[in-house]
């Protein structure tokens, strides 16, 4: 067994590999760029080597720097994680020349399977079902249009060397093909250094289901069940689960057998994933083989009890698999939510900045389930524009699917992230979608259920009352603490006031405190006062009990005997309360103050319709207009690259460009003015 390994990666996957290596008694070496000097994986490793500037092309993608880091530290093997150099055959070849072991498959397998065009041809030859399409080299947009016409719409334009949703576009008509071809090639060139693309038929209402395979260097190969990865946005996975709620045992066995046959045919040795598109009739088609560890590997680990990173290390060290196919048992259900630094309220645009607060739910038992959180950040860390926007992979396990989902919903409600925009509210909303709960999934799930994007959800009447009671609990506790301080000029003169109004914007909830059971305000009984034709009457009484400390970002307690967890954040004259995908600003007032507040005018937001603002911190890849130019609604104005993805900004209406404030190559902050319209 190796004594020291180097992890040629960063973020959560580097931390994940370090954990297993540490448990196996193996020393670890981290590598880092300028942007990652203070990163978590650097702190966790036994040693760390600086390898270059912040852009990946000047650090994590430089093979010679990684090889030199191995030489400096005496690392005997390298784990590539995923992304970066993990699927470049030149990397293990260079390591082999330096006498360093690659913890992954042989270069020949990477070459055969890592290229989507070649892998599809190989799969056909091996008897694996494949999607109809054109897998030759496509030189021009005109060729792409002709090929798409022949295949029949819709079609998928995909980067040959792609992955993670990069370099991938769906075209529903000829007019979509040209822009999709150009964008896919540009993203592929930027992300992978390879602008080749191919086109295949897009299966309507498909599921994305993948098989985890494990093989050694002695001809043994097994599969460890499947993962359902159909919940995707822009072809990038958002939620994964294992097993799939759709597959029956017969289909699982057939997909597993084909995956193992493909792995053996290509001489595979390590952990790998064979991805399939599955239609409504459970017919499945080979999509690609990822010759590396997958982002979503934890859900397989949770239902099988097999540490995939450990198995990769043991296979690389020359060991035979100690697990036979008959030993693989699927136990319970696991769900993974990818927590991203992106703003779901602004079209999921990337967000960068400092994590002023980062408090994930505690790992370990939660109710009838279990929580696991794979992360590579910490409170105070910076989220950089140079890398993938993933903050963490929150995973839950339970004996059954419903409990695993319920555990995930509870865990997301307790996940606190401040300082940047993030997608936790969106994930929390997904967990409560009826079709998700029933397992009625396709890769178009998010487009179907969020056709206009995500804007959160307004609370229903019961939720409004519950949040009003939580707001009152927070305010009572705050006021009582203030009254206990000595030396105040105007201390509270008596007992707790009984009548209160909680305002949510212009909406208000009147509350009457019936009984105070704890002098610090942590236990009281209040009624919601209801208005009807006869005036105000008392509604149902609720006992409200607060747990924890006042300064904590989570309010935990009980309302009417039911456990409640609400995220809290101080705002001017109030508190923002977030429960799942519901987020409201609450202000607690005495009735006469609320009456005066009703008279205050509302402040209107400034009109910014004349400006094209940069929607996220990013790099100006292209500007398609000039001063004085007329544009029509839908015309491309600019292309902004952030976190390895290109975003096309289009005109929302007809107009004339009055001024251009940016140029190609500029790095812009969020809301920077790119263009002004006349």
Tell which CATH architecture fits domain 461-482+495-597: 2-Layer Sandwich (3.30)
First to last CA, the chain: 69
Reported as a single tens digit per residue, the pLDDT across 638-674 is: 999 877 678 889 998 899 999 999 999 998 888 899 9
The whole-number average pLDDT for the span 239-245 is 98
pLDDT at 533: 66
Reported as a single tens digit per residue, the pLDDT across 190-234 is: 777 888 888 988 887 899 999 999 999 999 999 999 999 999 998
Neighbouring C-beta atoms of residue 86, cutoff 10 Å: 23
Q: How far is CA 389 from the centre of its chain?
A: 8
pLDDT at 632: 92
The whole-number average pLDDT for the span 10-22 is 98
Scored b (16 or more CB within 10 A) or e, 390-424 reads bbbbbbbbbeebebbbbbbbbbbbbbbbebbbbbb
Active site residues: 288
What are the structural domain ranges in the chain?
Answer: 4-103, 132-201, 461-482+495-597, 611-677
Contact at 8 Å (CB) between 357 and 416?
Answer: yes
- Is pLDDT above 90 for 495? no
Task: Please state the length of the chain.
Answer: 678
Strand 155-163 to 197-201 pairing: antiparallel
Contact at 8 Å (CB) between 186 and 195?
Answer: yes
* Chain mean pLDDT for the chain: 92
Reported as a single tens digit per residue, the pLDDT across 398-449 is: 999 999 999 999 999 999 999 999 999 999 999 999 999 999 999 999 999 9
The whole-number average pLDDT for the span 9-34 is 98
1 CB contacts (<8 Å, ≥6 apart)?
24, 26, 313, 314, 317
In this prediction, residue 127 has a pLDDT band, given cuts at 50, 70 and 90, of confident
Collapsing DSSP to helix, strand or coil, 446 comes out as helix
Contact at 8 Å (CB) between 35 and 52?
Answer: no
Contact at 8 Å (CB) between 184 and 217?
Answer: no
Alpha helices in 246-400 (DSSP H): 249-265, 297-304, 308-316
Neighbouring C-beta atoms of residue 608, cutoff 10 Å: 10
Reported as a single tens digit per residue, the pLDDT across 250-304 is: 999 999 999 999 999 999 999 999 999 998 889 999 999 999 999 999 999 999 9
DSSP tag of 18 = H
Contact at 8 Å (CB) between 282 and 247?
Answer: yes
Collapsing DSSP to helix, strand or coil, 303 comes out as helix
DSSP line for 592-631:
HHHHHHTTSPPPPPP--TTEEE-SSSEEEEEE---TT-EE
What does pTM read for this prediction? 0.84
CATH topology of domain 4-103: Rossmann fold (3.40.50)
- Is pLDDT above 60 for 494? no
Contact at 8 Å (CB) between 473 and 486?
Answer: no
The whole-number average pLDDT for the span 596-609 is 84
24 CB contacts (<8 Å, ≥6 apart)?
1, 310, 313
pLDDT at 612: 93
- Is pLDDT above 80 for 117? no
Joined together, the tokens standing for residue 361 give 């739910």
For residue 80, the cross-strand partners are none
pLDDT at 496: 74
Does CATH place domain 611-677 in 2.40.50.100?
yes
Reported as a single tens digit per residue, the pLDDT across 380-392 is: 999 988 888 899 9
152 CB contacts (<8 Å, ≥6 apart)?
201
Distances (CA, A) of 675 to 423, 633, 647, 650, 661: 28, 15, 16, 12, 6
Collapsing DSSP to helix, strand or coil, 136 comes out as coil
DSSP line for 25-94:
T-EEEEEEEGGGTT-HHHHHSSEEEEEE-SSGGGTTT-HHHHHHHHHHHT--EEE--SSTTTT-THHHHH
The whole-number average pLDDT for the span 162-176 is 83
DSSP line for 85-97:
TTT-THHHHHHHH
DSSP line for 507-558:
EEEEEEEEEE-STTSSEEEEEEEEEETTEEEEEEEEEEEEES-TTSSEEEEE
**CA-CA distance, 115 to 47, in Å (whole number)?**
34
Joined together, the tokens standing for residue 442 give 């396709």
pLDDT at 189: 85
- Is pLDDT above 80 for 76? yes
Asked if domains 461-482+495-597 and 611-677 share a fold, the reply is no
Q: Name the CATH superfamily housing domain 132-201.
A: ATP-grasp fold, A domain (3.30.1490.20)
């Amino acid at each position: 067994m190796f004594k020291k390994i180097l992890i040629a990666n960063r973020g959560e996957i580097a931390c994940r590999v370090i954990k297993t290596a540490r448990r196996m008694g193996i020393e670890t070496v981290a590598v880092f760029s300028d942007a990652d000097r203070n990163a978590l994986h650097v702190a966790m490793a036994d040693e760390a080597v600086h390898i270059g500037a912040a852009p990946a092309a000047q650090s994590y993608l430089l093979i010679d720097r990684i090889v030199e880091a191995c030489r400096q530290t005496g690392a005997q093997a390298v784990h590539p994680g995923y992304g970066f150099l993990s699927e470049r055959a030149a990397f293990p070849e260079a390591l082999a020349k330096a006498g360093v072991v690659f913890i992954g498959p042989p270069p020949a397998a990477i070459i055969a399977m890592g290229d989507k065009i070649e892998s599809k041809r190989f799969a056909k030859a091996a008897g694996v079902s494949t999607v109809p399409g054109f897998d030759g080299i496509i030189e021009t947009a005109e060729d792409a249009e002709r090929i798409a016409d022949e295949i029949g719409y819709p079609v998928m334009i995909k980067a040959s060397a792609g992955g993670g949703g990069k370099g991938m576009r769906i075209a529903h008509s000829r007019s979509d093909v040209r822009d999709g071809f150009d964008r896919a090639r540009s993203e592929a060139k930027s992300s992978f250094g390879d602008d080749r693309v191919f086109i295949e038929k897009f299966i309507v209402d498909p599921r994305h289901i993948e098989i985890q395979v494990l093989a050694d260097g002695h001809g043994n190969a097994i599969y460890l069940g499947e993962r359902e990865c159909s919940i995707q946005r822009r072809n990038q996975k958002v939620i994964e689960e294992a097993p799939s709620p759709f597959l029956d045992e017969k289909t699982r066995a057939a997909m597993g057998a084909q995956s193992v046959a493909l792995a053996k045919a290509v001489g595979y040795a390590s952990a790998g994933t064979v991805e399939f598109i599955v239609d409504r009739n459970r017919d499945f088609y080979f999509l690609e083989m990822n010759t590396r560890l997958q982002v979503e590997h934890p859900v397989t680990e949770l239902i099988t009890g097999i540490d995939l990173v450990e198995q990769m290390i043991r296979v690389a060290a020359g060991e035979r698999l100690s697990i036979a196919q008959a030993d693989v048992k699927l136990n319970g259900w696991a769900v993974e939510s990818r927590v991203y630094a992106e703003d779901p309220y602004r079209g999921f645009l990337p967000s960068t900045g400092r994590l002023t607060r980062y408090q994930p739910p505690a790992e370990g038992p939660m109710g009838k389930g279990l929580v696991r959180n794979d992360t590579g950040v910490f409170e105070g860390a910076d989220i950089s524009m140079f890398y993938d926007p993933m903050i963490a992979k929150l995973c839950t396990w339970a004996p059954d699917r419903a409990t695993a989902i319920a555990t995930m919903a509870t865990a997301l409600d307790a996940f606190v992230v401040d300082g940047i925009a993030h997608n936790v509210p969106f994930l929390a909303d997904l967990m409560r979608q009826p079709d998700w709960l029933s397992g009625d999934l396709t890769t178009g799930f998010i487009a179907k259920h969020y056709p206009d994007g995500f804007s959160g959800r307004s609370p229903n009447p019961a939720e409004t009352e519950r949040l009003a009671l939580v707001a009152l609990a927070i305010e009572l506790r705050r006021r009582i603490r203030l009254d206990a301080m000595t030396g105040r000029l105007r201390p509270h003169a008596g007992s707790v006031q009984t009548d209160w109004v909680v305002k949510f914007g212009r909406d208000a909830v009147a509350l009457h405190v019936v009984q105070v059971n704890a002098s610090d305000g942590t236990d009281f009984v209040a009624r919601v006062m209801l208005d009807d034709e006869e005036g105000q009457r008392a509604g149902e009484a609720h006992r409200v009990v607060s747990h924890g400390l006042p300064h904590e970002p989570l309010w935990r307690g009980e309302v009417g005997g039911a456990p409640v967890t609400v995220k809290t954040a101080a705002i001017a004259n109030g508190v923002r309360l977030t429960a799942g995908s519901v987020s409201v600003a609450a202000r607690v007032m005495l009735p006469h103050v609320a009456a005066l507040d009703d008279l205050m005018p509302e402040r209107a937001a400034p009109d910014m319709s004349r400006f094209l603002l940069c929607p996220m911190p990013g790099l100006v890849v292209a500007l398609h207009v000039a001063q004085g130019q007329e544009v029509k609604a839908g015309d491309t104005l600019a292309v902004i690259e952030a976190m390895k993805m290109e975003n096309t900004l289009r005109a929302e209406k007809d107009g004339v460009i009055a001024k251009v404030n940016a140029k190609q190559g500029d790095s812009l902050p969020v809301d920077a003015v790119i263009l002004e319209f006349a």
